[in-house]
Structure 1
Amino acid sequence: MNSQKRTGLFLVFVLSVSLISVSVTAFFMADLYNRMQFRLLNNICESIIRELPEAEKTIPSVLKKFKNGQAADTRGTILTDYGYRQSDFAGYTRNYGLLSAAGGFLLGGILFLSAFWYRHKTEMLRIRALTDYLEHVNTGGTVLHLQEEEDDFSKLQDEIYKTVTFAYQTRDAALEAKQNFAENLSNIAHQLKTPITAIHLTTQMPELTAKPETAGQIRKQLERLTHLEEALLLLSRLDAGTLPLEQKEIDVFTVLTLAADNLQEVFSDAGVFIDIPERKAARLTGDLDWTMEAIMNLLKNSMEHTPAGGIVHCFYEQNPVYTQIVIRDEGEGFAKEDIPHLFERFFRGRNAKEGGIGIGLALAKEIIENQNGTICARNNPEGGACFDIRFYSH
């Protein structure tokens, strides 16, 4: 049964109920009118007999003729001649008629509103059932099969169920593809280990060590391959969700200091300084080692874009909602067209340093986001690039 037929049946039901209420009202009004007419005639007869006792014999015979339909239909105007009108004898009848009409209208209205309320309640229950179903799906629950009902929401229910089922299938396919991608990255990284080890051994041969320039170039490329292999392994673990991240309280100043200490030699070679002023104690919940790894990648990126003699500034603070860490440099800043892509894997911006593989910022972002954090990059109005990190409390 389609929705148009159901709507038509509902309207027919409401109309039927209304007609029944009108018919019942008309019946009661007719009965009431007859009773009022009988009472009025009885009062008139009693009054006549009281005033004229001799009329007691005449009145029954006249009434009998009217009862048997034998009385002539006289359309006289005796009451009018006496100065009376029809409304003069209909006072009570009118009041009872109006009361009956009001009762009938009220009864019809109640029945109509009851039918409308029942339909509305049924629709709200169906809407609530569909809403609860979607909430259950959105909170990660399993796909439940809704009870099939033939109503106006049947088609909507079918489409919702199809959409949810398709979404679950798409999610499962995406998770499987992500798992396969992580496994492929891991396999590639492991396959790189063998040739890198072999090349390391080769560089130690006498004929190569006699040529410092050649050996230096090979070692440089080996370091780059080693870093790529380590980064691929880390990315595969992040994608597969197998990277163990502890959830402990960490002092922010300690994290920044340890990260700076590990990069001290690199910063010294570049002639760049790190400024980490100690402020009011601030803490975040996360893994000390991996958070430090993410901070080191950001510090190194800032150092690479800061001219010799410049400073990389670190700032942190905490509020009830999140702990914020800001890292900014004194370089030329990011190219505007690069900002939306800075955290993409293997992306190298216009001002990227030669020799990089474009994976450090992506790793930092992955580690931070896996610890209930966010990171964004922007240019400072006064110059230089800036990374804004926020670790949320909840």
Structure 2
Amino acid sequence: MTERKMKILMGLAAFLIVCSVSAFAMYQYQVREQYRLLDAFCERLQEERPDVEQTMLEIIKEKDVLRESETSGYLKTFGYTPSDLKWNRGIFLKSAGAGLLTGGILFSCVFIYWKKNIFQRIRTLTENLEKMNHGDYAMFRKETEGEFSKLQDEIYKTVTSLRQTRDHAVRAKNQFADHLSNIAHQLKTPVTSISLSLQMLQTTNSSKYILQIKRQLNRLKHLEEALLLLARIDAGTLVLEKSKTDVFTLLMMAADNLQELSLQYGVSIDVLKTEETDITADPEWTMEAVMNLMKNCMEHSTKGRRVYCTYEKNLLYTQINIWDEGPGFPEEDIPYLFDRFFRGRNAQKDSTGIGLSIAKEIIEMQNGVVRAYNRPQGGACFEIRIYQRE
């Protein structure tokens, strides 16, 4: 039985009880009024016709006119009360009593059922909560209506939220452990190289080992800066000073900062200028993100090739594309390219796997998204979209 049906039955029972009590009260009132009127009539008749007094009283008693009453008057002077006169009131009292009894029984049954149903719901809810405390996240029995179902829904939402928070904390803990493992691995390579170089320096005067140490120290410095940046991003302490920034100028400055690397790889960067386009972003950190994407394209391009940058704007967002003329991304690497410390199949030996994840974090902090894919014409492409703010 639904809660709505129980409310209807309880309302019907209350209606029957109220009607029965009201009818009985009206009956008593009517009897008293009839007795009062008859008493006044008889008193007046006796004053006008004293000779018919005895006949009048005999007729009244024979016709069962009077009923029980506490009023005093003319008839009472002769010793008559309503209880002395037998009125036929059985049918009315039986009807009123039947209605009262039916309403009382119906109300009691519905109340007992409702109370039992509530206890059953509470017991079921308690059992489900106990199961969830032991890791069994079973779905609650679905209620269709009623205040209890609202309470159940709120409890379920709270439990689900706590479960998601717990799962998120567990994942974060596991990721932290993985990150520590990756950091240890990243630090192990340059430290080992420096150690070997120092051993070689003890037996030879070759300057190439000095250069090797410098290179590994630079790698450690870069890794340290990247890890500190990731820590600031995770802690929410990286402050972006956003301003109106010209996209072409931003891309050109990023390309200029990679001139030395461009000469090293033999890969040039071409920024194709179109109409003037502005974005609202932090110029320094956005340039850092763009440089990481450009660097990735340069590392995976063939010597003598180019890395291209284009941009365009519509009503919703500004799009920046950075692509190369290389072999493209391995298909199995694409879903994981922006994961921290991920090193793809064709990654450079000294790659830390942090650059792309940093670029993604910075772009997303500025209401943007970035994705990687292989162009149909060949080559890898990074697509950045910075959405307009209202």
TM range (shorter): 0.5 to 0.7
1:348 to 339, 343, 350: 343
Residues in 2 aligned to 1:226 and 1:209: alpha-carbon distance in whole angstroms:
27
Residue 338 of structure 1 is matched in structure 2 by 333
Structure 1 residues 262-297: Cα deviation after superposition (integer angstroms, max 9, x where no partner): 001111121111110211011111111100000000
Residue 233 of structure 1 is matched in structure 2 by 228
TM-superposed deviation, 1:152: 1.7
1:318 to 286, 310, 313: 313
TM-superposed deviation, 1:227: 1.3
Residues in 2 aligned to 1:374 and 1:275: alpha-carbon distance in whole angstroms:
23
Alignment check: 8 A CA contact 1:272 1:308 kept: yes
Given the superposition, is the C-alpha separation of residues 222 and 280 from structure 1 closer, same or farther in structure 2, using an over 3 Å criterion? Answer: same
Structure 1 residues 305-361: Cα deviation after superposition (integer angstroms, max 9, x where no partner): 110110101000111211110001000000111100000001011111221011110
2:218 to 213, 217, 223: 223
Alignment check: 8 A CA contact 1:178 1:240 kept: no
Residue 4 of structure 1 is matched in structure 2 by 2
Alignment check: 8 A CA contact 1:235 1:363 kept: yes
Residue 163 of structure 1 is matched in structure 2 by 157
Residues in 2 aligned to 1:243 and 1:231: alpha-carbon distance in whole angstroms:
13
Residues in 1 aligned to 2:173 and 2:388: alpha-carbon distance in whole angstroms:
29
Runs (5+) with no aligned partner, structure 1? 18-150
Residues in 2 aligned to 1:277 and 1:341: alpha-carbon distance in whole angstroms:
29
Residues in 1 aligned to 2:324 and 2:14: alpha-carbon distance in whole angstroms:
81
Residues in 2 aligned to 1:181 and 1:293: alpha-carbon distance in whole angstroms:
25
Residues in 1 aligned to 2:12 and 2:333: alpha-carbon distance in whole angstroms:
66
User: Normalized against structure 1, the TM-score is what?
Assistant: 0.56
Equivalence map 1:44-83=2 (5 Å): none
TM-superposed deviation, 1:217: 2.2
Residue 146 of structure 2 is matched in structure 1 by 152
- Name the SS of the counterpart of 1:211 in structure 2: coil
Given the superposition, is the C-alpha separation of residues 353 and 171 from structure 1 closer, same or farther in structure 2, using an over 3 Å criterion? Answer: same
Say whether residues 1:362 and 2:346 are aligned partners.
no
Residues in 1 aligned to 2:204 and 2:218: alpha-carbon distance in whole angstroms:
17
Residue 369 of structure 2 is matched in structure 1 by 374
User: Normalized against structure 2, the TM-score is what?
Assistant: 0.57
Equivalence map 1:91-102=2 (5 Å): none
Residue 68 of structure 1 is matched in structure 2 by none
Alignment check: 8 A CA contact 2:367 2:387 kept: yes
TM-superposed deviation, 1:244: 1.1
Residues in 2 aligned to 1:321 and 1:179: alpha-carbon distance in whole angstroms:
37
1:213 to 192, 199, 208: 208
Given the superposition, is the C-alpha separation of residues 274 and 208 from structure 1 closer, same or farther in structure 2, using an over 3 Å criterion? Answer: farther
- Name the SS of the counterpart of 1:261 in structure 2: helix
Alignment check: 8 A CA contact 1:209 1:215 kept: no
Runs of 4+ with >4 A deviation: 11-17, 172-182, 206-209
- Name the SS of the counterpart of 1:337 in structure 2: coil
Residues in 2 aligned to 1:373 and 1:291: alpha-carbon distance in whole angstroms:
11
Given the superposition, is the C-alpha separation of residues 176 and 246 from structure 1 closer, same or farther in structure 2, using an over 3 Å criterion? Answer: farther
Runs (5+) with no aligned partner, structure 2? 16-144
Residue 276 of structure 2 is matched in structure 1 by 281
TM-superposed deviation, 1:383: 0.2
**CA RMSD across the alignment:** 3.7
